[in-house]
């Protein structure tokens, strides 16, 4: 009997067990070693990222640790379907008055988040010697999220290595948001639903916002998700069209 293929066959259940063990280890590190200075959930997410790096190193695949047969269930449990389903389920804790009151700030942060990301990406692209509008727009789009980058790049006909750069930029953004949000949350007053909606709109990367807020305060998750969910879609709309044309006009 092949043990690995047994676990692969029962992939989803196996991943539940492995995640439970990861959570347990993270919780122990948090209470025993760090005296709860960093929450267990933040450490668990960090452990997850380390596993992802390790998995990528061994297999050379794109799905982190999920490319190992033993961890294949992570593709499903850690995929966008489960993630979005869980985010939606947190909505019952949402307060409508708070949401409506923060609506205006949320929309402003969304617009600003899209524009600022694109501009920052272009500035960095220029600093690294890229001159053509197509490459710059693709890198700018990748600075929005790792979904917007390749969508924009293929729409504008950018080269495949520039598209790879844009995806990598989006992934770095998601990871940096994940790791640093719980650490800077108090400094940037990210401790209320209003700020969480602004945060979701500014950052936009659903993976990063979801994980960063989860590690900070789970109650804030639905508010951040509410604005972030519009970000990638709007980015895919604006980057290859309005933003690209504006960039071309300026060059």
Partner 1 sequence: MLIYGLGLLAFSYLAGQLFGDVLGEMIGVQANVGGVGFAMLLLVLLHNYFQKKQWVKAQFDDGIGFWSNMYIPVIVAMSASQNALLAFNNGILPIVAGTLIVIIGFALVPLISSIKTTTHS
The Cα-based distances of 145 to 55, 102, 203, 210, 231 in angstroms read: 22, 23, 9, 14, 8
Angle, to 10 degrees, between the axis of helix 221-238 and the axis of helix 206-216? 160
Do the Cβ atoms of 144 and 233 come closer than 8 Å? no
Question: What residues numbered 200-239 form the site for partner 1, per CB under 8 A?
Answer: 202-203, 206-207, 210-211, 214, 218, 221-222, 225-227, 229-230, 232-237
Min dist. Cβ of residue 8 to partner 1 (A): 15
41/53 Cα distance (integer angstroms): 19
Question: What residues numbered 162-181 form the site for partner 1, per CB under 8 A?
Answer: 164-165, 167-178, 180
> Interface with partner 1 includes 10 (CB under 8 A)?
no
Do the Cβ atoms of 160 and 140 come closer than 8 Å? no
Half-sphere exposure of 7 (CA within 13 A, CB side): 15
Question: What residues numbered 97-126 form the site for partner 1, per CB under 8 A?
Answer: 101-102, 104-105, 108-109, 112-113, 116-117, 120-121, 124-125
Which segment (1-9, 29-37, 76-84, 243-251) binds partner 1 by CB under 8 A? 76-84
- The residue (of 7 and 143) whose beta carbon lies closer to partner 1 is 143
Q: Which of 4, 128, 159, 251 binds partner 1 (CB under 8 A)?
A: 128
Residues 24-43 as x/- pattern, contact with partner 1 by CB under 8 A: -----------------x--
């Amino acid at each position: 009997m092949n043990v690995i293929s047994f676990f692969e066959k029962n992939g989803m259940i196996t991943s539940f067990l492995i995640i439970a063990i990861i959570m347990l280890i993270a919780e122990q590190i948090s209470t025993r070693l760090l005296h709860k200075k960093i929450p267990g959930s933040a450490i668990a997410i960090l452990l997850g990222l380390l596993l992802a790096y390790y998995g990528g190193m061994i297999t050379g695949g794109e799905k982190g640790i999920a490319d190992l047969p033993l961890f294949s269930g992570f593709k499903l449990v850690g995929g966008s379907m489960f993630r979005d389903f869980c985010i939606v389920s947190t909505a019952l804790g949402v307060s409508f008055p708070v949401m409506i009151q923060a609506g205006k700030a949320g929309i402003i942060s969304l617009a600003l988040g899209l524009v600022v990301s694109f501009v920052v990406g272009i500035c960095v692209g220029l600093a690294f010697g890229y001159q053509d509008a197509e490459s710059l727009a693709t890198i700018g789009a990748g600075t929005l999220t790792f979904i917007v980058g390749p969508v924009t790049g293929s729409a504008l006909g950018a080269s495949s290595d520039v598209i790879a750069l844009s995806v990598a930029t989006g992934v770095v953004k998601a990871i940096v948001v994940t790791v640093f949000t719980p650490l800077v949350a108090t400094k940037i007053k990210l401790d209320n639903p209003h700020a969480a909606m602004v945060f979701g709109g500014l950052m936009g990367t659903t993976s990063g916002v979801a994980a960063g807020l989860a590690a900070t305060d789970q109650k804030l998750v639905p508010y951040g998700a509410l604005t972030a969910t519009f970000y990638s879609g709007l980015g895919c709309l604006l980057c290859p069209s309005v933003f690209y044309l504006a960039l071309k006009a300026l060059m």
